[in-house]
Structure formats: C-alpha cells, structure tokens
Amino acid sequence: MKKHAFTTVLLLTALYSTTVFAAIRPAAPGSALSFSQLLNQLPANHPLDLNLSEADTNISAVEALRSDDRYWITVSAADKYERTALLETGMDIVEINASRTSGFARKEAMDLILEKGFSIESRVTIYEYAKKHLKDFPPTDAAYHNYTETTGLLRELAANNPDIASLFSAGKTLEGRDIWCLRLNSTEKGEKTSSKPGAFFVGSHHAREHLTNEVALGLAVYLLEHKNDAEISKYLETLDIYIIPMLNADGAEYDIAAGKYRWHRKNTRVNPDKSMGVDLNRNYDSLWCRGGASHSPSAETYCGPSAFSEPETVAVKKFVETRKNLKTLMSYHSYSSLLLYPWAGKDTPLENENDRKVFAEMARTMADFTGYTPQQSSDLYVATGDTTDWAYATSGIFAFTTELEGNSFYPGAALISRAVAGNVKAAVYMLSVTEDPYKLLR
C-alpha cells in the first residue's frame, strides 16, 4: 500500500476505534449483542490501542522478528508426495501454488530439504518477509478478539441467553488458561451430557490463525441472535451444539504479545532442546507422526513426544470421548480457502463407501456457501495426527477442516465479516444434517 493511502487508513482506524469504544465497550449486562454489531463495530479494546500508534506497533512487530531464525522459502514440489516429504523436514507449509510450495523453515529444515534433493528457489529471513507483509493493515488488528476479549464475549453471550446458552471450561491450557466452550442446548446446560445429536465447532489449533477464532465467535453470535428464527430455533431445540473458539489460547496470546506478530503456529511448550511448541494438529492419536510430521522439537510440524502429550489436545480428547452424541465436527484453520475431509493421514480414500459419499457431499455443499474448494485432506499432502482423522476413526464423527480465506495469517480486520458470513452459512448447513448425516444418502 502506498504511503498516503496507509496514512488514510490509520486516520480512519483511529476514528473507528474511538467510535467503537464509545458505542459498545463494555456491553451493559442484559443488553443484546447484535450480529451486525459484531461484524461492523467489532469490540476494540485491545490494550495496545491505548498507548501505541499503529505505525509504532508496526515497526516493533517487525523488529521483534530480527532475532527469529526462520526463513520464508519457496521450494519446487511437484505433488502431494513431495509436499508430504517437505512437511517431514519440519517445513511449515503455508502456500501451495501448482509446482511451488512456500512456507517457513529453520536452517535444520532447509538442510534436510536440500539433502532430500529439492531445490530452494528463494529464501528471505522472516524479518524481511514481515517487513513486506505487515505493512498493509493496522498491525494491532484491534477488531480481533484476544483471549480476554474472547472470554468476555462468551460470558456475555451465555449471560444474555440463559435459556439456551451456557459456558464451561473444557480444560486448561499448558499455561493454565481455561479452554472455554459455549454450549447451545435448550434443555441441558454446562457439562451435563445430552442424547440430542451433537455438533462441535473448534478454532485456533494454530496460534497465528486468529481469523478462526473470529469465525467461531461470529457463529455463536449469529445463532443466538437468530434463536427465534424458525430454522435456527429448530436446531437449538433438537441439537446439542458446542463451540470452542480458541483452543490454543496460550499460542494465540504469545503470537500477539506486546503487539508483536510472531507467526507462531504451535502451542507454547518449552521442549527439551529449548525450542518452543508442539503442533497441536499433529498431536492426535491417529497414525501419530507416521507422515507429514516431524519428531524434531524445533520443527514447525513437531508432533510432540507422544500422541496426546499436550493438555489442549487432551481436552479435546476428553471432550469428544465423553460426548457419544457428537455427529459432526468442524475444525477451523487458515488460510487456503479449502474444505477438507479425511483421510488427512492416509493417501487412500475412506474405506467406507457410504461415509465417503456423505463426507464428499457435505464438503461440496459447505464449499458452495464459502466459495472454497472441497477435497480429501491428503490430496494436499499427507499429514498424520490431525483432529479430523482422529475424531472420525475413533468416534465415527463426520469431521471437517476448513481452511479459511485470505492471503496471510494476518489478513486485517476487513476480511472478518466476509469470512464469518460465508462460514456461518456453511455451519448452519452442517447443523441441518447433524441429526442424521446419512440422510444425504437417501
């Protein structure tokens, strides 16, 4: 973005923040939170707004990456098998374009990539990459909800809709944060189990994928705001709906701490070699670490010392295992505009023909609502130990991964409303088949 245009954005942002502060922060107890308010006047009391200008934060955000030893690299990779091999070096694949694959890698991963015979077409330090990519939007992204704001909004939604909503902690993160789960059920509240068919939405397995938290929160707000609409009220009456917007709360907070985007993916586990983090979406017990993941702790795709070694994935495990009524699951990630279904960890189609048909039909329909591309996960690359393979293999849940739209992990606030709108439609469709996904075969 050109300099004068950027200045205009800063001025508008400053004006906008002031208006939003006055208008909706904090919401009075009992006041209805409107869906359009969420989209158009997003809560903006990010602490950074108070003492740092956008420009100051932008500089500090980039400078913070000066000592980060990762590179943004582009490698020639012909197909999913080559991309799987790249993941196994510890490369963090972010973008795939025909014969080119780009993402983050440390020196050890780059050495392995070259050892395996790939050619690295280009590489820049993450510092150089950030200088280029953090310029185009207000780096504080005040419209996004941090952990405190997410907690506040969920509490407000539960408090304002006691007839239908309740909030409980599904467990604690490594650093002791509550993993909040909003439940929508007309008869059962909190952790009490229900025999109604269940749907489960989860965001933020990966720290820097902040848009996933916004989509999950947007869905919660939408369903509650439309709780009296004929269609939504039917789902709220007959289904058991769970939303965990921010699973990897430690990582998400670490990623934005002090206004510094760190492009952090994993949780905040300090590994024995002093590197940070386990990749939560490689830590599930489904062909754990057998492909598309790395045993090396510093790798971005580190699967952890064992399956379910991390409290965040254990929380999901316990949550799913104690709720036999769950039929559907959506795990939000960003970014690639994809609607993915199992297998992720196997290079073969689902063995069960009926299940494969249901998965494909649901993915196709949800992709229609969002404009994303539906496909089997492993068509991208093989990645073992992810949420959806585990949920399907162990519990028979129709479990999907959505890779949201955008062209960056930090796409700015403007993208939120569009991403929420499309994905809410897809989610409502998922609810419409949750009672019996097999009805799609009839």
Q: Which stretch binds Zn ion (CB under 5 A): 77-85, 143-151, 220-228, 326-334?
A: 326-334
Give the nearest distance from C-beta 242 to Zn ion in angstroms.
20
Applying the rule CB under 5 A, the residues between 240 and 299 that interact with Zn ion are none
How far is residue 36's CA from residue 28's CA, in Å, rounded to a whole number?
17
Give the nearest distance from C-beta 326 to Zn ion in angstroms.
21
Contact between 105 and 92 under an 8 Å Cβ cutoff? The reply is: yes
**β-pairing verdict for 338-341 and 240-244:** unpaired
Q: Which stretch binds Zn ion (CB under 5 A): 39-47, 163-171, 200-208, 305-313?
A: 200-208
Q: Give the Cβ contact number of residue 298 at 10 Å.
A: 19
Q: Where does residue 199 rank: exposed (0-12), middle (13-18), buried (19+ CB within 10 A)? A: buried
* The only residue of 70, 133, 145, 206 in contact with Zn ion, by rule CB under 5 A: 206
Is the omega angle on the peptide bond into residue 72 within 30 degrees of 0, that is, cis?
no
Instruction: Rank residues 94 and 165 by Cβ distance to Zn ion and give the closer one.
Output: 94
Residue nearest Zn ion, CB atom distance: 333
Give the nearest distance from C-beta 202 to Zn ion in angstroms.
11
Q: Which stretch binds Zn ion (CB under 5 A): 85-93, 234-242, 325-333, 339-347?
A: 325-333
* # residues contacting Zn ion (CB under 5 A): 3
Instruction: Rank residues 133 and 206 by Cβ distance to Zn ion and give the closer one.
Output: 206
Applying the rule CB under 5 A, the residues between 73 and 132 that interact with Zn ion are none
Query: Is the torsion defined by CA of 78, 79, 81, 84 positive or negative?
Result: positive
Is 88 an annotated catalytic residue?
no
How far is residue 301's CA from residue 278's CA, in Å, rounded to a whole number?
8
Give the nearest distance from C-beta 245 to Zn ion in angstroms.
14
Instruction: Rank residues 265 and 346 by Cβ distance to Zn ion and give the closer one.
Output: 265
How far is residue 397's CA from residue 286's CA, in Å, rounded to a whole number?
14
Q: Name the strand (E) or helix (H) holding 204.
A: none
Instruction: Rank residues 39 and 367 by Cβ distance to Zn ion and give the closer one.
Output: 367
**β-pairing verdict for 338-341 and 178-184:** unpaired
How far is residue 196's CA from residue 327's CA, in Å, rounded to a whole number?
10
Instruction: Rank residues 83 and 333 by Cβ distance to Zn ion and give the closer one.
Output: 333
Percentages helix, strand, coil for the chain (3-state, rounded to 5) are: 45, 15, 40
CA 314 to chain centre: 17
Is 333 near Zn ion (CB under 5 A)? yes
Contact between 243 and 45 under an 8 Å Cβ cutoff? The reply is: no
Q: Which stretch binds Zn ion (CB under 5 A): 45-53, 153-161, 175-183, 205-213?
A: 205-213
Give the nearest distance from C-beta 205 to Zn ion in angstroms.
6
- List 188, 403, 405, 435, catalytic entry: 403
State the residues that interact with Zn ion by CB under 5 A.
Answer: 206, 209, 333
Which amino acids are annotated catalytic? 403
